[in-house]
Structure 1
């Protein structure tokens, strides 16, 4: 199944992490099915569309009763083709009710921060490679078989060999792999061990190469983002500076290319106007909101889409260059990401959380903060 997330629910004031997938639900009165969201949470709660709740055992009863199904019933569907020998098959095994329950249990473990069946299998692989005894091979086989059957081919992340090296490794000498494959020999076991050794070498080389290429990547725990929210002050701006002064509508007059603007909003919309008269009318607006309104109604310069980002960067530089107290305020945000939110700016300039937004104002503020820091 395809899991989506993250999501959460609140229980006793605590956020419980979750994920969801789609299943087919049988209609309560009609003989038909419809898609429904199945939510699972870190504490083991499972619900249909958030309201009808159960646990793992209850999910098994839902599946057994036909209340939900993994696939849509198709009475007219053609008979499936005979499956090829398992050793030759290059596709996952079918997802059954039993293996889906195992997958859900794994997803709950992942959400709770506990090892999944695949994690325990990898631990068993490492243990067997360190000491390839028959007892550890048997333990590896048990760990491999605990992985949901329809997910086993993805265990090694190998599109070509899939999980064949592992299937050879868990099969005793002289036995046929999967019952219909080749008889396992010592050479085959060694080839499988060599496969894992080569994989380790390749992974180590890739990580070393990545460390070189990403040598300048920030390290350590990132700071929480600084969120510049849009706030109204009917009585005027507060006397004590706060993050509100980093916003483009804050009144901090500055000069840019021979012109003076009361706010960045005034400068941005004035410079967007094709006509000089509109430029002056916007610049003279009593408030940033009025400047934005006048600017939005003026005829725009034909080249504005290509230059607006550079213009905004220039205006912000001028604002912080000419107001040292605001520059100190911006530098005080440290290395935190800056999310510029609000209602009046377009999504091009602001952050809109899960709904998107390109947050170019926030990104430019981070750039200018970096420039200020190296002066």
Structure 2
């Protein structure tokens, strides 16, 4: 189980809170190491990955939950051994669920335990079998390693098991007897008393929402083709995706073309960059010519205007951007640590500006007046 260890990583001066737990990485042999989990939904398992990518790492065994008899293992610089009679306490589903819960807790959001207790409160307020089924499903969605911690030191999760099973029902533990009416009534009384105590401690929540706005991150990978496709998915959000835009009566094949063209000091070079066959070719031309004076001071504003033009002029791509919700956008740019993430070490300005444009799209859709 993941404890209360505290760590962080710094991205462009911003501290992203995190925690860690021990885990085995299978890379030839099994390496005991630390698995770092951060509030923005990135997990460091010998490389920063999103939650979805982490789940794939677990499913494929890169992050190991099965430790075979006789398999070689080591702790770097400390020891080597082979497993003898290993007893695995993790499953892929359990580890993924624990990590997802950890991201929720780092963001002060309800995790699976919080969602379970919310469903229990809904059932106690309206004791229908439908609500009981919802509460039971929410309870079973809590990782097994955490269910026992939902009760007190003496009874563990007994009252919760009884409540969601109902009179005459069976709990998820085969050794438990059928629930009696008396046991059920004691469980109901237990939660009613608990609800009274919580009501006395409840404090007023912030009217503006959570203090932190971190959400599971979305990686935006480069577009490597020069052709449009019917369903580009999130790769259509990359600046190199061939989505032509018109800015100040000039036409550009992509945001990348427009950005590099506008950066050039000489007008004739700007035209050549705009006409380049690919975004990569546009970059090559831009590298070989001087920048406009003071370009570094205006480039973020220029990029913002280009991104606004792209998503105003391509509603289908705006829908893809809106579909990312409020997730942090991790933009991959192999050429720039200013615009791209660079494995969590870059400034990720494109990702941040995409979040700004996405917020503006949400604002317009919600009918808020513009600035």
Structure possessing the higher radius of gyration over alpha carbons: 1
Structure with greater contact order relative to length (CA < 8 Å, sep ≥ 6): 2
Normalised by the length of structure 1, the TM-score is 0.45
